[in-house]
Amino acid sequence: MKRVEPKQTLSITIPTSLYQKLMKEVGKGKIGKFIKETVEEKLEQEKENLGRAYQECYANNTHLLELAKKWERAGIESWLNYERNKRKSVATKILKKRNDRKVN
């Protein structure tokens, strides 16, 4: 079964000459699909370019690469500590409720 993606209406202003080119090249009723595909392609290219730029930056700067690794480890450790503390907190609350029931 094909998934139907929700749609959003977007009103944009473009020069008349560009609109006429779109009508001529793409055709009436096909402009929305053309713009969607073009924007998706452009966004994917930008994402790839950004990834390459980060790789080049880190490849050319070992100090920056080491800093990034430290931040990544710190982020992971912080998240793990947060999760551990959250579980401890939940367990403490459960035990407290049990003890309160026994007392009453």
- 71 occurs within a structural domain: yes
Q: Which two tokens stand for residue 76?
A: 């992971």
pLDDT at 83 over 80: no
Check if the beta carbon of residue 39 is closer than 8 Å to that of residue 31. Answer: no
**pLDDT band at residue 18, thresholds of 50, 70 and 90?**
very high
pLDDT at 102 over 80: no
Q: How many domains does the chain have?
A: 2
- 9 occurs within a structural domain: no
Q: Name the residue range of residue 33's domain.
A: 16-60
- 44 occurs within a structural domain: yes
How high is the pLDDT of residue 30? 95
Task: Return all residues near 22 (Cβ < 8 A) that are at least 6 apart.
Answer: 31, 34
Sheet strands (E) in the chain: none
Same domain, 32 and 52: yes
How high is the pLDDT of residue 34? 96
Same domain, 20 and 53: yes
Give the tens place of pLDDT for each residue, 21-71.
999 999 999 999 999 999 999 999 999 988 888 778 777 788 877 877 777
Pairwise CA distance, residues 2 & 13, whole Å: 32
Instruction: Give the helix, strand, coil percentages of the chain, each rounded to 5.
Output: 80, 0, 20
Same domain, 69 and 104: yes
Same domain, 56 and 89: no
